[in-house]
A and B are shown apart, each in its own frame.
Chain A
Amino acid sequence: MALLELREIDVFYGRVQALRHVSLALGKDEIVALIGSNGAGKTTTLRTISGLMHPAHGSVVFDGRQLTGVPAHQVVSLGICHAPEGRRLFPRMRVIDNLYMGAYARKDSAGIQHDLDRVFTLFPRLQERRTQLAGTLSGGEQQMLAIGRALMARPKVLMLDEPSLGLAPILVQLIFQVLQEINSQGTPILLVEQNATKALEIAHRAYVLETGNIVMTGTGQELLRSAEVQKAYLGV
């Protein structure tokens, strides 16, 4: 039984249809990647799940509960955390305060402290720079902070939009390692990526979106070997 499920959703921006009959599922221990070219509807899919967009048809089901029509801030408190593209950190706040903001909706200070230690274990760089302002971090460190801040909400589902965007290859490697580690600790991840090779390498399953339609699905390895995917997205 999937933890998060999209059933045949249609989403429009005004009169332009962005998603057509998109169905996808995320299981309890999975990393699921959503790949596709620009404008395929990857970000729209995430925005629909987090309640920032509302589907015209179809439904979003989370943990047996209908999410259709639930406003964004309540979706957050249900445990779906969306680290948006472009990070949206608080640039003039310290690293540590950014992390605490991630846990703003929580009241259990012992749990928050535990999760803070966890984030610092995953990203020792953040611990080194805990009192530095977020805006003065490098791009890679900012991405680490964005992921760390999302983890501080102790999400039941973590949705990441382009976590490798604009990062040096060595940092991309690091970020993806950490995502696998987060997943192995029990958080399912829905990952939107332009960097299809990397995403497919760590994903248990993946969907390929093309102009609002899901055109292919399979395990990460299957898609990596698929001739069409190789031609269209992997540049092989």
Chain B
Amino acid sequence: MTVIGGLRRLWETDPRRDPTTLTYTLLAIGAVVVPLLAAATGGGYLVGQIADAGVFVLLAIGLNVVVGFAGLLDLGYAAFFAIGAYMYAELASPYLEAMGIHGGIHLPFWILLFVGMFVAAGFGALLGAPTLRLRGDYLAIVTLGFGEIVPRVVRNLGTLTNGVNGISAVDPPEVPAWISGPWSGDPFKIVTDLKVTDAVGYYLIMVVLVTVCVVLVNNLYRSRIGRAWMAVREDEVAAAAMGVNTVRIKLLAFAIGASLSGFGGAFYASKLAYVSPGNFSFLVSVTILVMVVLGGMGNIPGVIVGSLVIYYILYNFLPDLPGHLTDMANAFGFSGLLQQSGDWPGLAEEASRLKFLVFGSILVATMLLRPQGLMPSRVREQELQKGTHEDTTIEDVGAATGAE
């Protein structure tokens, strides 16, 4: 029924006016088709990479709650990601043996996902409570500091976190029941307590997690709370005059954003089977922020598309760039460029040296061509189209004074 209803809505909405339905449909189809294609061509690596991208999708959706909905600039978002990941790594690995607990602690994956969520939300509230009274730039600076503090603390906690070396041999996710069959090369039967270790398994779990989070955040956005977030973003004083407890509502945005990050962190740790302080640098916070802004602040499908695009550029396009350029140079008869001579290090080497210049140029070009993001919320779009109405206001004033 819902499928038919969804198809009807897709048919009836004009994608130029409301691309949301179309985007969700395409994403859903893509989520099913891409791994099938990859499996057919034997590209398990690609599926695993999409599962990694899914972690960033989760993070971007969470940061979008903070930045896009409530308008709070959070520059230390990776800190909550680290908290979720470390929480999982401590409680689901043999590592705590070092602390004298025989065999370490091995709590189940699904429980720890939620523990990670609540622990991160708790830290979000803890950071938010004293700082959310600050506005704009000051909040950004405090979150920036928090984002630096957490990895540093983790690096220096000694035995508890194993410092720079990080924690390895983290447990993979475990599914309580699963049907194995010819698609995984096994006989057809129901398996219980399956440890997920292959890319397709991670991918499926990721799709489920992202779907759940998208539904939850969408519902929040349409609720009274979502409206209060926007009101606080627009005019904090007016929102307070409507009866909004502004500090509490901002704290809620902060905690919910943090909880999604903790959620993503726990999944990330289980997939990588390894965590180290280096995985949660300032660069991660900035990357997620770029995904949100470039995708279209405040618009969930836009943010999903933005995070997939940025992930692709950062982890696929740029690393492959030297190889592609070499192929192209050979194909078009410029193979001379590939040779090293004097200051010229050869095309491939030059491309890999300049890859962040390329990345920066792509970002700048996107923001110049589409300042509202790839898929802006309708709010941003209308805003960029107004103009004419401001003229009317001025005319109104003129008419009124003229008549007095």
Also in contact, A169 and B224, with CB within 8 A (given A72-B241, A105-B243): no
Verify if B2 is at the interface (C-beta below 8 Å from A).
Answer: no
Q: Is the CB of B397 within 8 A of A166?
A: yes
Instruction: Give the residue among A84, A169, A235 with the most B Cβ atoms within 10 A.
Output: A169
List B residues 218-241 near A (Cβ within 8 Å).
Answer: 224, 227-228, 230-231, 233-235, 237-241
Q: How far does the alpha carbon of A132 sit from the alpha carbon of B228 in the complex, in Å?
A: 18
Please pick, from B243, B382, B385, the residue contacting A73 in the complex, using a CB distance under 8 A. Answer: B243
Verify if A17 is at the interface (C-beta below 8 Å from B).
Answer: no
Q: Is the CB of A93 within 8 A of B231?
A: yes
Verify if A114 is at the interface (C-beta below 8 Å from B).
Answer: no
Q: How far does the alpha carbon of A171 sit from the alpha carbon of B403 in the complex, in Å?
A: 12
Closest to A164 in B: B400
Q: Is the CB of B396 within 8 A of A93?
A: no
Please pick, from B227, B237, B397, the residue contacting A139 in the complex, using a CB distance under 8 A. Answer: B397
State how many angstroms separate the Cβ of A47 from the closest Cβ of chain B: 12
Please pick, from A104, A136, A167, the residue contacting B242 in the complex, using a CB distance under 8 A. Answer: A104
Q: How far does the alpha carbon of A103 sit from the alpha carbon of B244 in the complex, in Å?
A: 10
Contact count band on A: 35 or more
Also in contact, A104 and B379, with CB within 8 A (given A92-B234, A172-B400): no
Also in contact, A137 and B389, with CB within 8 A (given A88-B235, A101-B227, A168-B400): yes
Mark each residue of chain B from 238 to 266: 1 if its CB lies under 8 Å from any CB of chain A, else 0: 11111110000000000000000000000
Verify if A121 is at the interface (C-beta below 8 Å from B).
Answer: no
Verify if A140 is at the interface (C-beta below 8 Å from B).
Answer: yes
Please pick, from A90, A132, A164, A171, the residue contacting B234 in the complex, using a CB distance under 8 A. Answer: A90
Please pick, from A76, A166, A169, the residue contacting B241 in the complex, using a CB distance under 8 A. Answer: A76
List A residues 102-121 near B (Cβ within 8 Å).
Answer: 102, 104-105
Q: Is the CB of A168 within 8 A of B399?
A: yes
Q: How far does the alpha carbon of A88 sit from the alpha carbon of B239 in the complex, in Å?
A: 9
Q: Is the CB of A132 within 8 A of B382?
A: yes
Also in contact, A92 and B242, with CB within 8 A (given A104-B228, A166-B400, A167-B396): no
Verify if B186 is at the interface (C-beta below 8 Å from A).
Answer: no
Verify if A97 is at the interface (C-beta below 8 Å from B).
Answer: yes
Also in contact, A88 and B382, with CB within 8 A (given A138-B389, A171-B396): no
Contact count band on B: 20 to 34
Verify if A176 is at the interface (C-beta below 8 Å from B).
Answer: no
Verify if B189 is at the interface (C-beta below 8 Å from A).
Answer: no
Verify if A40 is at the interface (C-beta below 8 Å from B).
Answer: no
State how many angstroms separate the Cβ of B111 from the closest Cβ of chain A: 35
Q: Which residues of B contact A104 (CB under 8 A)?
A: 224, 227-228, 231, 242-244
Verify if A77 is at the interface (C-beta below 8 Å from B).
Answer: yes
Q: Which residues of B contact A94 (CB under 8 A)?
A: 379
List B residues 370-404 near A (Cβ within 8 Å).
Answer: 379, 382-383, 385-386, 389, 392-393, 395-397, 399-400, 403-404
Also in contact, A93 and B224, with CB within 8 A (given A139-B397, A167-B400): no
Verify if A91 is at the interface (C-beta below 8 Å from B).
Answer: yes
Q: How far does the alpha carbon of A92 sit from the alpha carbon of B376 in the complex, in Å?
A: 13
Verify if A2 is at the interface (C-beta below 8 Å from B).
Answer: no
Verify if A133 is at the interface (C-beta below 8 Å from B).
Answer: yes
Q: Which residues of A contact B382 (CB under 8 A)?
A: 132-133, 136
Also in contact, A90 and B379, with CB within 8 A (given A76-B241, A104-B243, A138-B392): no
Q: Which residues of A contact B230 (CB under 8 A)?
A: 90, 92-93, 97
Q: Is the CB of B379 within 8 A of A92?
A: yes
Also in contact, A139 and B231, with CB within 8 A (given A92-B379, A101-B239): no
State how many angstroms separate the Cβ of A212 from the closest Cβ of chain B: 25
State how many angstroms separate the Cβ of A235 from the closest Cβ of chain B: 8
Q: Which residues of A contact B228 (CB under 8 A)?
A: 101, 104
Q: Is the CB of A169 within 8 A of B399?
A: yes
Please pick, from A77, A92, A138, the residue contacting B243 in the complex, using a CB distance under 8 A. Answer: A77
Q: Which residues of A contact B224 (CB under 8 A)?
A: 100, 104
List A residues 166-209 near B (Cβ within 8 Å).
Answer: 166-169, 171-172
List A residues 122-162 near B (Cβ within 8 Å).
Answer: 132-133, 135-140, 149, 153
Q: A133-B383, A138-B393, A164-B400 are in contact. List 14 more A-B contacts (CB 8 A).
A: A73-B240, A76-B241, A88-B237, A88-B241, A92-B230, A92-B233, A93-B231, A93-B379, A101-B231, A104-B227, A132-B382, A136-B389, A140-B396, A166-B393
Can you show 9 pairs from A to B with CB atoms below 8 A apart? A72-B240, A76-B243, A100-B227, A133-B382, A133-B383, A136-B382, A137-B389, A153-B243, A168-B396
* Closest 4 A/B residue pairs (Cβ): A105-B243, A90-B234, A139-B393, A88-B238
